[in-house]
Amino acid sequence: MKSKSIFFLWIILFFRIGFVFGQSDAPDINEVIKNKTPLEQIMELNELSRQYRNSDIESALNFCIKAYEISVTSDNKTGMAISLKNIGIIDYIIGRYDSALVKYNKALKLFETINDQSELMKVKNNVALIYMAQADFLKAINHLREILQFYRINADTTEIIRSLYNLGNCYYYTGEYLISMECYREAIILNEKMENDQIKVDLFIGIGALYEAQDLLENALVEYRTALALAKKMNNRSRQGVILTNIANVYLQQDEANSALEMLTTAYLIRESLDDQKGMAYVLNLMGMAYEKLGQPDRAKELYISSLKISQTLGNMREVATTLSFMGVNLIKENNYHSAIEYIKTSIQITDSAQMLHELSENYKLMVFSYSAIGLTDSAEWYLDSYLKLKQYLQLSPEELNKFDITTKAKDDLIKKENRILIKQGEQLLFSLSLFWAIVLTLIAGLVIFIFILTVLLILRPKYRKRFLLKMFK
């Protein structure tokens, strides 16, 4: 096991170098704003911030901070509001939720002042995302319904799709899988005409998560791999980190801990390079689970504690609940059932108040095991009854599961393209190997011929042998 840990350390060191050299250089701010009016500077800097926030978070932040400064100097309220919104988005990405809310609230006031209802709703959507991270899904759903209604009235297809996607995520976390699927379905149909690749990636991830929740792991992998191919095509490193984490989670459920750990290492490095604290906490939890499966509970516990510290600092109660459940499992394996019950109870309080029904059902199952182990059969039976009722509610029928099969031309094209790439890579690898072995065999043959000729000369011509030895040892 120690050698395995050393192996992953080398992976981290290798990939860290790769990420440093693999990132594209963002343009210099001074060059961007040179010979432009303040309005042009504000617009271009904010656009660059949008382009780079999924690949170079530091540059993206610098762009929108500079845009805000220029907006203040030129008293451009629209520029100030958009810049604050973009700064808030970056704060959200890296997990600074309180700071993001401050920026969003300032942006909301400015958009209200200039009466820009469209941008106002975009910021409200971003506020809803923070509520989701804080596990306040009912409040997020209310916000998103209001936003969706506004965009339906104004026939803004792009924002309708975005709102449907976010609503689908909320309903997924609250266990309303059919409603979640219907939101994704409508978004996919609308996006067939829009051809928004970012939305495609997110929707494939969402559908994959729904399959995973129903234990249809191979179906989930198809969705995740399709999303990963598109995210790579877009060079969207943020989404690549998310998808790699999701694939690793499936591998863990398939008891492929080593494969999961390799993928999680890559995912962690991506998220660390983007300063994605929320994502790092989630990856650390899954790494802990992988080490549990590899028989290293102490290492797992260290990772859980690190994850918990990050999530508590961020106020990410959804991940706090997950970590507490994992720590409960860790304690159960150590036969420390009383401590495990306390951790799981705290997780239940969070998941119950947030209506995170899937996580709640898993916690009930852990309580059944823990109370049974210490002989408290009444408590075990109560949790068993609660678990079975909730599991039945969450489990979809075969007819309902058929509705998940949403095939789009985009997905088919991506899969075909990925297969073509794999075939081409295989052909290139085969050619390289053939060339390598041809060179090796040529060298070996040449060496054999040389040794043979030399041996013949030394045996048949003693005088040549004497001269040869004199030259070798003079």
User: 77-93 and 38-52 are packed helices; what angle lies between their axes, rounded to 10 degrees?
Assistant: 20
- Residue 130 neighbours by CB distance under 10 Å: 21
E runs forming strands in 360-451: none
CB 24 within 8 A of CB 56: yes
Distance CA 68, CA 242 (A): 30
**Measuring CA to CA, which residue among 99, 154, 151, 155 is closest to residue 125?**
151
For 161, the enclosing helix (H) or strand (E) is helix 157-173
- For 275, the token pair is 């300063």
DSSP 136: -
Residue 247 has which token pair?
A: 């694939």
Task: Measure the CA–CA gap between 357 and 318, rounded to whole angstroms.
Answer: 12
CA 226/CA 412 separation, integer angstroms: 9
What whole-number distance in Å separates Cα of residue 176 and Cα of residue 393? 9
Block residue for tokens 């540059």 = 59
With beta carbons less than 8 A apart as the criterion, state whether 407 and 188 touch. no
> How far is it between the farthest Cα atoms of the chain?
105
CATH architecture of 26-115: Alpha Horseshoe (1.25)
- Residue spans of the domains in the chain: they are 26-115, 316-406, 427-473
Taking only the tens of pLDDT, the chain with its 474 residues reads: 444 443 343 334 333 434 433 445 788 889 888 889 999 999 999 999 998 887 788 899 999 999 999 999 999 999 999 999 999 999 988 888 889 999 999 999 999 999 999 899 999 999 999 998 888 898 999 999 999 999 999 999 999 999 999 999 999 988 898 899 899 999 999 998 888 888 899 999 999 999 998 889 999 999 999 999 999 999 899 899 999 999 999 999 999 999 999 999 999 999 998 888 889 999 999 999 999 999 999 999 999 999 999 999 888 888 999 999 999 999 999 999 999 999 999 999 999 888 888 889 999 999 999 999 999 999 999 999 999 998 888 877 776 666 655 544 445 554 454 455 445 545 555 555 566 566 666 777 667 676 766 565 556 555 555 554 444 444
- Taking the CB of residue 112, how many other CB atoms lie within 10 A of it? 12
Q: What contacts 129, CB < 8 A, 6 or more positions away?
A: 92, 140, 166
Helix intervals (H) in 214-236: 217-234
Q: What is the pTM of this model?
A: 0.68
User: What is the distance between the alpha carbons of residues 75 and 114, in angstroms, rounded to a whole number?
Assistant: 13
Taking the C-alpha atoms of residue 110 and residue 259, their distance in angstroms, rounded to an integer, is 49
- DSSP letter for each residue of 315-378: T-HHHHHHHHHHHHHHHHHTT-HHHHHHHHHHHHHHHHHTT-HHHHHHHHHHHHHHHHHTT-HH
Instruction: Return the amino acid letter for 445.
Output: A
Q: Are 401 and 216 in contact (CB under 8 A)?
A: yes
Which DSSP string corresponds to 45-74?
Answer: HHHHHHHHTTT-HHHHHHHHHHHHHHHHHT
CATH value of 316-406 in 1.10.260.40, 1.25.40.10, 1.10.10.10, 1.10.287.3510: 1.25.40.10
